[in-house]
Each structure stands twice: as structure tokens, then as C-alpha cells.
Amino acid sequence: MNLEDKFQELKSRGEGAHMPHVYFGDPHEEFSLRLIETLAENGADILEFGIPFSDPTADGPTFQAVCERALENGVTPAKCIQGIKKLRDMGVENPIVVTTYYNIPYVAGVGNFLNKIREAGAQAIIVPNVPVEEADVLLAEGKKSGIHVIFQIAPTTTEDRLKKIADIASGFLYVINVEGVTGARESLADSTLKLVKRVRQHTDMPLLAGFGISNRQQASNVVAAGADGAIAGSCYAKIYEKNLEKPEETLPEIADLVGQIKQGCIEGYRRR
Amino acid sequence: MKKGKFGEYGGQYINEVLMPILIELEAAFEKHYPTAEFQEKLNGLLRDYAGRPTPLYYAKNFSKLVGCKIYLKREDLVCGGSHKLNNALGQALLTKEMGKSRLITETAAGQHGLATAMAGNVCELETEVFMGVKDIKRQASNVKRMKLLGAKVTPVDIGMGVLKDAVSDTLRKWTTCSQTTHYLMGSTVGPHPFPEIVATFQSVIGKEIKEQILEKEGRLPDTMVACGSGGSNALGAFRPFIKEKEVKLVFVEGGGESLESDNNAAAFQIGKPGILHGALMQVLQDENGQIKPSKTRAAGLNYPGRGPEISFLVESGRVEAHYAFDKEVFEAVKVMGRTEGLIPALETAHAIAYMVKHRQEFGEEELVVLNYSGRGDKDLEAIMRYFHES
């Protein structure tokens, strides 16, 4: 299913979207496949599929450790792309958004990389270290290969940048809740809610809010504030990293959490 | 050339949270740096606090050994023991102008961390320094100095616990506090405008060299030699000479144990263009684009990337890239000690090792300026251990 149809479907059902974020290959590929399948079956609408990078500077300690483990265990971009294909073969139909740092597509050749992820079954890409200023190649190649390039908006983003980003964005916009890196946090600042409202004045594009969301209430709050959905990632890794020997034993707990966060996205939408 | 780019190199490959801060920084630099007030404050501090201008010393005995005429630009005499203070003072003043109250930075050899702590105190700014756990151990004396000055030294234990990891963590930290805090980048790396700002503040070295060598010799040098990884001391020395095509510029990076993969920091030998810490530059990486750790006994050269400007100058052929192995570097320390009575930093000793190794290539009348970037007190233990063990 493509992103537009997914957002349309959610709108007609009156629900906020939930996009869980997973880095592929931690602790191994087989688990990642089952993890993503579990997320898809228990509440995920869109899947954020991370390709690990050695120096993930926009990620907090949880995802840093995740990337480090995945790379130590031998995951490569090629294996990740293969993983997307396997998910499609397993019958996972949710839109898939690839996240990685720019050196990975840069070294592979940006056009070549985007073609490969599209052929494997992905619909979009997030590259956190490519701001609008450096996005020409990514945008041109994205257009050619039919991959949406997702941009981020932060509390520090000025009005004039907001406008620039809204103009070139496609798919959806990723609203960074807090000044910081990815990772589960206790509470969300009021600035989050203000930011979602601020972005809304510039665009009708779907907005997914991420960073620091780890439970039902937080998801509900950001959606109630006007976001079209919530992104959560580190909170899932925090569950399975407690049992890296047999991570599959944690899948029921993960299934429960993704269901709850999705429930928060539904409640938030109804509170609007 | 597009602003912030050196050929294809450079740019601003950084997350959206920091982009507005970089734009603000660029505007502040362009606004304040050229003003007479700023120049006066900076030059006053460089003169009265840092001890500039530093001498250009004719190293007679070392010259005899190599077989040409070598001058040492004595950056080891800058207060704190290296060239790092030139840039730290400039950026600390800029931080004041921007109305921010804190500095964060990272350090490997400890020289830049120390310089930042000094500049922070002079400008009444709080300082926090991120340092890899491995570097904390091998540069213990500088850690003590930083702490004594009141800086907070935050250990970084991710990755290999070295400079690359400390830079990553400082960027993460900056993402959470950029409104009140300036990241005082210590080398000519990172997203624009950092490489430009650092090279500008460091080019005081080259400006002085030009005046001094003309005064002493009545002509420009034939060759200039500097060590480096990000490139701050090299660019500082080279910048005023880049247009003087007859001056050969030599950059010496860390050859580590050998040029085999994972055994060195020689990104110009075995790296390729890639994006790390906000910029496109020459960087050690595997075939998939994962950044590889670097390895050298000189903590200050232990970084997998070469800054965007030095990457461009080497690619375009203006600067020649060479390397020195650890073994040659330790020998070079001894040579400098015995000939001139000076103990160089292990980083600086790379440039010295180059001269010793390539001495056959220099003619008697050839005039060389070696940027003597720092003193070796911080490395004393490592040097003693090396000679004791081998």
C-alpha cells in the first residue's frame, strides 16, 4: 500500500497513524523480521525501517547501541534491502519508510540506492543528516525512482525554513518533538504541541511526530495536538535488548506496547 | 565555489535541529569578525594572553641533519602548549557576542580541550569537554589541567572511546542545548561554517610566517610541512600561501603501524570521499560506507576524516599528502630532542619524521618551514614507555 492511500484510509477511520522505528539486524536478521511482522500485526500503520550506520549522530544511546550490535553482527545495507523484500514476501503490506544516514546511499550511488529500496518494496526515505540545503541530489533521484523524501522539522526550525521544507516535502513531514536525539523520555514539553500547531499553518501534508514518544498517553497527546500520527522507536528496542539471547521471548510485550501506542493515536484523534 | 564547499567537499550534512543554529553562527561570524572592536579584542588576547606572535626559529642543528635550511614555527610556545588556543580564543569571543553562556567541545590529545577551558575562563563561559575514555587514559596530564581550570570533562565510552566517538557525542549533546551553548569546534571539520571559522582563526600562523620569513630570508619558503588530521594547524600555516604556487605544501597524516586497513589514520592513502560529522570529506570507511576507526599513537591525529578544505587541496594537487609511521614518529621525537633540545608533541613529530625520512630530496639551499604545532609534555609517558619497551 502506498503512503497516500494509508493516510486516506486512516482519515476515513478517524485514527492517528503509528509508525514504529526499528533498526534492522539487531541482534540478528531473523529477529528483526519477526519484530517488524509483530509490529505490523499489532498496531503499526507505517514501518520505519532503519539501515544501521556506524555513527548515528541523530540517535540517542539506545539506537547507538542497536546500530553497533547490528553492525558487529554483520548486517550490511544489502542485507537490509533484502530484508525489506523478505517482509513483502511474508505478506507485510504496510508502507515502509527507510531511514539511514547519508553516507550509506552516497557510497552506493544515491539513484542506485533509491531504486534498490523501491524494487525491494519501500515507499520513502528519511535521511536525518540531509537538510534542505543539501537535498538536491536526493530530491532529484527520489523523483526519478518514485521514492518520497521525508524531511524533518524541529523546534528550532525558523518560519522561513518551515516554508521551504513544506514546499519540497512529499509523503509526510516528520516533526521532531524535542531538541535532542531519539530516545524514550518521561514527558513531552509543551513546545511539542506548539510546534505541531505551527507547522500546521504552513501545510496540509500529514505530520508524524517523533522523538521521545514511548507510551499511549504521549502518542495520544501529540495526535490530539494536531499531528496525524506518532513515531516511536527506542521504546521497542528497550524491551528486546533486555533479552538479547532470546529476543523473540519479548515479542508479546512488544505486541502489547505497539497496540497501546496505536490506541493512543486513535484516542488522540478523537480528542481533537 | 558554493559557500561552505571546497570543490565537492564540505557542506552541511546535519540534522534539522542544528541547521538554524549553524545559520545563526555563520551570520554572527560574518557580522562580528571583520569589525575593529572584535579584531582588537582578539589581537589583544592573542598578544597578551596567548603570547603571539610566536617565533620563527632557525633550527640550525636539525637543518644540518636533514641537509637543508629549516625554520620551526614555534606554536608550541603558545600558552597551553599548542596552536589550539588561536582558534579557541576567537570562537570564545564569538560565543560572547552571540550571547551564549556555555562552551562544549571534544578533545583527543587534550590540547584543544585545554585551550577551550582556558578561553572559556578568559571569556567567562562555562566549559564542558567530551573525551573518549581511551584518550582520557593516555592524555592524563591534560585531563588534570582541564579539571584544574574548572572544566567539566565528560568521558565518552561509546564506540572505541576515541575522538570520532567524542565528536558524535558532542554533536548529540549540542542538539539538546544549542540555544544557550556554542560547540567550539577544534579543527577544520564539521558542517559549514566551522571549517571556515577555524581556518580563519588559525591563519594567524601563516600570516606571521610570511612576515617573519620575508624578514629573515627575504623570500618565501620552498616548502612548508605540517602534520594533521582535520587540518587546523596545517591550514592555519598554509592558507596565506595557497596562492603562492611556487611554495610546496606538504601535509603529513598518521600512518599508524602500517598502511594496512585498521592500522592507521591515513585517510588520504586508503580513505575515500564520504559524509561524517556534517561534511563530505576524505574518510576511512568500508565498502558499504560504514566509517572505520582510525589508529595512531598520536591521539590528536586519530580521526578517520580529513577536513573538507584539506581534502580539496590534496585532491586538486595543491597540497601533497604524506604519512609517517608510529615508529618513525617516536624516532623523530628523539631526533628533535637531541638536535634542538625540544620535545615535540607526537602529532608534531609526524612532520619532523617526514623531514628526516625524505632528507635525500632536499637541497642544501632549500628553505623549509615546519609548523611546530605543539610541545610533547603531554606525551612524555607514552614516549618513555615506547623507548623503554623497545
What is the overall mean pLDDT for chain A?
94
How high is the pLDDT of residue B58?
A: 98
Q: Is A48 tagged catalytic? A: yes
Q: Number of structural domains, chain A?
A: 1
pLDDT above 80 (res A185): no
- Give the range among A75-84, A188-197, B249-258 with minimum mean pLDDT: A188-197
How high is the pLDDT of residue B302?
A: 95
To the nearest whole percent, how much of chain A has pLDDT over 70? Answer: 95
Cα separations (Å) of B124 from B27, B92, B93, B183, B235?
23, 9, 10, 15, 29
Q: What is the mean pLDDT of residues A76-102?
A: 98
| Exposure string for B108-133, b = 16+ CB within 10 A, e = fewer | bbbbbbbbbbbbbebbebebbbbbbe
Contacts of A68 in chain B (CB under 8 A): 158-159
Instruction: Tell me which residue of A139, A98, A101 sits closest to A118, measured CA to CA.
Output: A98
Q: What is the mean pLDDT of residues B287-304?
A: 96
Taking a contact as any Cβ pair under 8 Å apart, which residues of chain B between 261 and 300 contact chain A? 274-278, 280, 285, 287-292
Q: Which residue of A has its CA nearest to B171?
A: A57
pLDDT above 80 (res B155): yes
Q: Give the cell for residue B69.
A: 635550511
pLDDT above 80 (res A180): no
Contacts of B179 in chain A (CB under 8 A): 156, 179
* Helical spans, DSSP H, in chain B: 19-32, 36-45, 60-66, 84-97, 111-122, 133-138, 140-148, 163-177, 194-202, 204-217, 232-238, 267-270, 308-315, 326-340, 348-357, 380-389
Q: Number of residue pairs across A and B with CB atoms under 8 Å? A: 114
How high is the pLDDT of residue A97?
A: 98
Q: What value of ipTM does the predicted structure carry?
A: 0.95
Q: Is A59 tagged catalytic? A: yes
Contact indicator for A77, A125 with CB cutoff of 8 Å: no
**Interchain proximity A129–B13, CB inside 8 Å:** yes
Q: What is the pLDDT of residues A202-245, one digit of tens each?
A: 999 999 999 889 999 999 988 998 899 999 999 999 999 999 99
Q: How far B111 CA lies from chain A's nearest CA (Å)?
A: 24
Work out the pLDDT band at B29, boundaries 50, 70, 90.
very high
Q: What is the pLDDT of residues B179-236, one digit of tens each?
A: 899 999 999 999 999 999 999 999 999 999 999 999 999 999 999 999 999 999 999 9
Q: How far A256 CA lies from chain B's nearest CA (Å)?
A: 31
**Interchain proximity B16–A78, CB inside 8 Å:** no
CB neighbour list of residue A228: distance below 8 Å, 6 or more residues apart: A7, A10, A16, A17, A172, A206, A207, A208
Mind listing the domains of chain B with CATH numbers?
14-46+83-199 (3.40.50.1100), 52-81+204-389 (3.40.50.1100)
Q: What is the pLDDT of residues A123-166, one digit of tens each?
A: 999 999 999 999 999 999 999 999 999 999 998 899 999 999 99
**Residue A224: CATH number of its domain:** 3.20.20.70
| Exposure string for B206-231, b = 16+ CB within 10 A, e = fewer | bebbbebbeeeeeebbbbbbbbbbbb
Work out the pLDDT band at A40, boundaries 50, 70, 90.
very high
* Domain around A155: 3-7+15-271
Cα separations (Å) of B51 from B48, B79, B177?
6, 6, 33
Contacts of A82 in chain B (CB under 8 A): none
Q: Does B17 touch chain A (CB under 8 A)?
A: yes
Phi, then psi, of A22 in degrees rounded to 5: -130, 135
**Interchain proximity A129–B275, CB inside 8 Å:** yes
Work out the pLDDT band at B284, boundaries 50, 70, 90.
very high
How high is the pLDDT of residue B65?
A: 98
- Give the range among A37-41, B107-111, B311-315 with minimum mean pLDDT: B107-111
Contacts of B20 in chain A (CB under 8 A): 154, 156-158, 161
CA B145 to centroid of chain Cα atoms: 19
Interface probe with A: pick from B172, B176, B180, B282, most Cβ of A within 10 Å: B172
CB neighbour list of residue B308: distance below 8 Å, 6 or more residues apart: B5, B6, B9, B10, B11, B188, B189, B195, B279, B280, B281
Q: Does B66 touch chain A (CB under 8 A)?
A: no
pLDDT above 50 (res B109): yes
Smallest Cβ–Cβ distance between A55 and the set B21, B276, B288 belongs to B276
Of these residues, B41, B69, B84, B210, which one is catalytic? Answer: B84
Contacts of A133 in chain B (CB under 8 A): 11-12, 19
Number of continuous H segments (helices) and E segments (strands) in chain B: 16, 15
In this prediction the pTM is 0.96
Q: What is the mean pLDDT of residues A19-43?
A: 98
pLDDT above 50 (res A186): no
